[in-house]
Amino acid sequence: MKKRILIVVVFLIISAVAFGYFVTHRIPANIESKGTEEMTVMISLATAVVSLATAIVTLITTWRKGQKG
C-alpha cells in the first residue's frame, strides 16, 4: 500500500515539473510579447504549486488513514 502511494506522489511531482517546464520553455518561444510570457510563467508556477500541494495533502490523508487502521 505504501509503495503505491509513493509511486503516485512521485508521478504527481514529475508531472508537475514536466508541465511547468513545458509551459515556461516551449510555449513562450512561440509568443513574441513579453507580457504574455510573464503571465505564462506565473500560470505554470501556480499550476505546479497546486499539483505539489495536492500530492502532499493526498500523502498526509493516506498516512493518517494508515495510522488509524
Going residue by residue through the chain, which has 69 residues, state the pLDDT in tens, using 9 for 90 and above. 678 777 777 887 787 777 777 766 666 555 555 566 677 777 788 888 888 888 888 888 887 777 776
Total structural domains within the chain: 1
Q: Which residues contact 40 (CB under 8 A, 6 or more apart)?
A: 23, 24, 27, 28, 31
Task: Please give the grid coordinates belonging to residue 68.
Answer: 488509524
Taking CA atoms, 58 is separated from 12, 37, 65, in Å, by 11, 32, 11
Range of the domain at 64: 2-68
Three-state DSSP state, 9: helix
